[in-house]
Amino acid sequence: MSNFFADWRQRATHRQVWALAAPMILSNISVPLVTLVDSSVIGHLPHAHQLGAVAVGGTLYSFLAWAMSFLRMGTTGFAAQAAGRKDGAALRQVLLQGLLLAMGFAVLLLGLIGLPFQHLALQLMQPSPDLNELTQDFFHTRLFGLPAALASYALVGWFLGLQNARAPLAILLTTNLVNIALNLWFVLGLDWGVVGSARASVVAEWIGALLGLALTHKGLRDYPGHLALAALKRWQSWRPLLMVNRDIFIRSLVLQSVFFLITTQGARLGDATVAANALLLNGLLLTANALDGLAHAVEALCGHAIGARDRNALRRSLNVAGGWSLICSLGFAALFLLCGHLFIAMQTDIVQVREIAFIYLPYLAVLPLVAVWSYLLDGLFIGATRAREMRNAMVVTALLTAPFAWLAGGLGNHALWWVFLLFMALRAVTLGVIARRLNRSDGWFHG
C-alpha cells in the first residue's frame, strides 16, 4: 500500500482499473439487487415458508448454474491473452467454443442432473412439507432459464477478456432490471406468488443472453480475423480451454458443495432460520458482487499483461486493485455494522425472521474483511489461466472446512456462521500461499 499512488504509471493503472471495475461493480450489484427484490417482494407475503422456498430453491438453482461458472472464468483468461497478442482468430474461436460448451452443459443439466439433484438435496435438508412443495415449484420453473444463464456466462467472460466492461454492464443491467420489473408484476400484480418470481427470472435471463449475442458484433469488428472452422474439429483446439474449464469446474463444484452443506445444515434449524440466513447472505451477495467488479478488472488487466509478458503492468494492476478492494471492503463492513437493521427490515416484515436475523448481523459485518482477499486472488489466477492451482486450493480449503460444517449443524446457527467465516479465510490463505510460490519462481509467465 505504500506505493499505492507511487508514479504516473500507477495513476494510469488506477484509471484502467476503474474503467473496467466501475461498470462491472454497477452491473454486478444489480445481481444481488434482484435477489433483494425477490426477498423483499416474497418476504412481505404472510408466511416464512414462502421466503424460505425462494431461498432454498434459489440455492439449488445457483448450485447448478454457478458450478458452470467456469464458462465465464475460463473464457476471460483465454480471451484476455488473445487480445494481448492481437489475435482476432483466437478470439473468435474462444467465443464460439464458450457458447457451444454452454449449450452442451445446459442440455446435460436439464436432461440428466437437475431433477435427481433436487430430490436428493431436499431429502438431505428435510424441509417442512409446505417449504418442500413450494421449493420444487420454484426450482422446476427456474430450470427453463438455465441455457440462457450459461450462454451469458460465456458472453460476459469473453467481453471482459477484451477489457470491454460496457457490454457486460448492458447484459447484466438489462437482465436484472427486467427481472425486477417482472417480479413486481408477476408476484404483486398477477398474484402468481413464488412461481411468479421464478418466471420473471427465466424471461429476464433469455432477454439478457440475446442482447449479449447482439453485442458481440462490435468486439469482433475491433479485432479482425477469420474463424478457422476446421480447427474446431481437432482435439488440440479444444484441449487448452477444456483443461482449464475442467479444473475451474471442479473448483466451482467444490465451492458450491461447501455452500450447499452449510445451507443443508441451516435448513434443519427451521423455516424462520432458513429465511433469516437468506436475508443475511443477500448482504454477502451484495458485497461479493461489488468486490468482484475489482476482481474482474484484475482478470482482464493481469491476463492482458501476461499475454504481453509485461511484469511491471502485472505488479501495478495487483497493487492498485488490492488497495481499492481493501477500501471497499472496509466500507461494506461499516455499512452493515451501522445500517444492518435497516437492511433486514427492508427485506421482510415477518417479526420472527427479523429477530433471528438481527442476532447474526455482526457476522455479516465481518465477512467483507475476511472474503475480500479470496476474490482478488481469484481474479489473478483466472487472468493467468492458472485453473489447476485454483482447483487445488479449493479442494484443500473444502477438506479443512467440511468436518467443521458437518459438526456445526448440531451446534446451532452461531456455529454455522463461524464455519462460514473459517471457509472464506481459508480460501484466501490457500490461494495466497500458491501465489507467493508462483511469484518467487516467475511462474506467472512460465508453464
Within-domain flag for 1: no
Within-domain flag for 411: yes
How far is CA 15 from each of CA 5, 290, 316, 335, rounded to the nearest angstrom? 12, 18, 12, 26
Within-domain flag for 62: yes
How far is CA 90 from each of CA 93, 221, 226, 265, rounded to the nearest angstrom? 5, 14, 9, 45
Write out the residue range of the structural domain in which residue 291 sits. 13-445
Within-domain flag for 239: yes
Within-domain flag for 4: no
Contact 207, 60 (CB under 8 A): no
Within-domain flag for 237: yes
Q: Is 342 left (phi over 0), alpha (psi -120 to 50) or beta?
A: alpha
Within-domain flag for 187: yes
* pLDDT number for residue 49: 67
Rounded Cα–Cα distance for residues 53 and 139 (Å): 9
What is the pLDDT tens value at each position of the chain, 447 positions in all? Answer: 445 445 545 555 677 777 777 777 776 665 556 656 666 677 666 566 677 677 777 777 877 777 777 787 778 877 877 777 777 777 888 888 889 888 988 988 887 887 887 777 777 766 677 777 778 888 888 888 889 989 988 898 888 888 787 888 888 888 888 988 898 898 888 888 888 888 998 999 899 999 999 998 887 887 777 766 666 667 666 777 777 778 878 887 888 777 777 777 777 777 788 778 878 888 887 888 788 878 878 877 777 777 777 778 778 878 888 888 889 899 999 999 998 898 888 877 778 888 998 999 999 999 999 999 998 888 888 878 788 888 999 999 989 988 887 777 678 888 889 988 999 999 999 999 998 888 887 767 765
Report phi then psi at 192, rounded to 5.
Answer: -85, -5
* pLDDT number for residue 424: 92
**Count: domains in the chain:** 1
Site of grid cell 458450491: 256
Within-domain flag for 2: no
Alpha carbon dihedral 229, 231, 237, 238, in 10-degree steps, equals 50
